Structure 1
Amino acid sequence: MDSQWRKSSRSGSNGACVEARHVQPAVEVRDSKDADGPILRFSGDAWSTFVTGLKR
């Protein structure tokens, strides 16, 4: 992941999506419908743990 915002390829067309981007050393997440709204920031370790949990 780079500094561009990206949506999951599995996102539907209903607009209820989140976007993520990698900003060293963190990962940022936002609501795709509110690009100027709040951004959540997670450490790389926390993001990896989250993604691993999703894959289970």
Structure 2
Amino acid sequence: MWAHLKDSLGNLAPCSIDELAALTRTRLKRMQYRPDVLDGFIAETGLIPASP
């Protein structure tokens, strides 16, 4: 997940730490609405999610 986030921020040039933090929050929020991407991250770990 962090590699995916870093890739999406890699070509940006924020002018301040606050701007970088805002961009990071925005990108993480976008990931929240991409269950296919999140499922892929979990699948790559090889772990089996426990049933509730």
Normalised TM-score (structure 2)? 0.32
Choose between structure 1 and 2: higher strand proportion. 1
| Structure with more relative contact order (C-alpha pairs < 8 Å, separation 6 or more) | 2
- Larger CA Rg, structure 1 vs 2: 2
Structure with higher helix content: 2
